[in-house]
Structure 1
Amino acid sequence: MIARALGVTRRFGSTVAVDQLDLDVAAGELVGLLGPNGAGKSTLISLLVGLRKPDSGRVELFGGDPRDARFRRELGMTPQETGLPTTLRVGEVVSFVSRHFPDPLPAGELLERFGLSGLEKRQTGGLSGGQKRRLAVALAFVGRPKLVVLDEPTTGLDVEGRRALWEGVRHFHAEGGTVLLTSHYLDEIENLASRVVVVGKGRVIADGPVDHVRGLVAVSRVSLTCPVPPPLDGVVHSEREGDRWELHTPDADALVRHLVRADVPFTALQVRPASLEEAFLTLTGETS
């Protein structure tokens, strides 16, 4: 295993941030880590990369203790908060970081992967917020790592910036790299991850492919236009905007049959499986 947490617990005073949690990340995986605020995601990341020590349990990185620098040599990371020296040029920043590694990626190749070509002579203080974030993420890949950990990598990026970053991550993964990322953009996890781990209250509450996570809640979304409130038997959550209704139900077929038998005057019926976001909210008990 590239990274592993075995029965890990971490407390902050009386708060249990990670509670006897188990997690394995195998070589070549692209794992999306999801969970609401306070679920323990960031604490888990800090334990896996050696920034914190567990109160109990064991954490392994490349088979050793992540707090030992020898086992972090093939790790690349971009935390949520990053800072770049504002007076240095982009090329100078990449060159400085590259010198820490025996076989770094060429600067031009790295910048092209993340949509930053042509900015080598620009001072980082003159970059847009999105360009700064993409540069911070790109630096995690400079040393040709085997594992890259990205904590909310596309926060603050526009659509074009997000897609440029996605392509850089996909390129790394296609070459055999391993990625562990957190994101509050659930479409990002759907687009990138081959495996989803949902964390709630410091524990893993779901782990598997995207379709598996959706299937755990087995909720369908029934959309219809109806001038009167439809019967809500078997509906676990409903939303209304004018005459348009969104009904979440574990049995869409039964709901539609009930509407027909009750002579409900509906039109424009649509039925689809729950999105990852809907599954995530249900699994973490945050549905409204």
Structure 2
Amino acid sequence: MKTLYKYLIALSLIIIMAGCVNDDDYNTPVLDCDGTTLVKNMEPQAIPATSQVQLYADNTAISGDDIIEAYVTSSDKGGNFYKTISFQTLDASFGFSVDVDVTSTFINFEPGRKVLIKLNGLYTQLYNGSLNLGGVYLINGFATIGRLPEADYLTYLNRSCTVVPEETLVQHVTLTQLKNDSYLNKLVEIDNVQFADTSVGHTYYESNNDIGGATNHLLKDATGDTLIFRTTAQAEFSGNAVPNGSGQIRGILTKYGNDYQFIARTKEDIKLNAPRF
């Protein structure tokens, strides 16, 4: 009798386990999405902004909240981005950034995620050639864009259930084409580049070559044109050797003053496996 009981228990366990297994992908749990139901009612290009920090001016032609739609392009997973999220429109016609006082945003706002952004209550500024959204912060009596507090940022950034592949967003450009404000905050891949000779043999970040918490190296194309490649001390690949090959690098274009600066999100963005030219 005991043997029969043991047999029946074992058989029941096998049936239960079989019922829980997804034959196609049993290691991946299926999670319900609790994304926003908000719908955009204006385009980010229509946001009025100047070089002065100002509270977003309500669009009186729209009832309720003014809402834009955009897709995440940056990621802080690799440590090279910190408390800022870059966005672009699906058609890549416009890019901008939002400052948040939050880390590990890649968990909920990963590249390709569609986000609906409520504008009412945000501050705007055209900073270093690009639209910047966030809170307000005073430095010596002067207003600048500040980070949205962790307690508030999800009021403005509303995660949708839509995630598009990166290839839907990325633009393939030459180094020369990239040096243009129109590419700021967008996901781009630079083709046919390599690091300058002076960078080979060094690591991505070096404390004796620190400029504002990061090290600048130069990317170079076959024509001799160059662009700053910036890596922070916190980047997961900061101690890796600068590769000696040529190829493609994916990432986000930023700007400081008059200098364009390219930032890779993770080491996987850097694909320099071909011989140097």
* TM score, norm. by length of structure 2: 0.23
* TM score, norm. by length of structure 1: 0.22
Query: Is the helix fraction higher in 1 or 2?
Result: 1
Which is bigger in relative contact order (C-alpha 8 A, separation at least 6)? 1
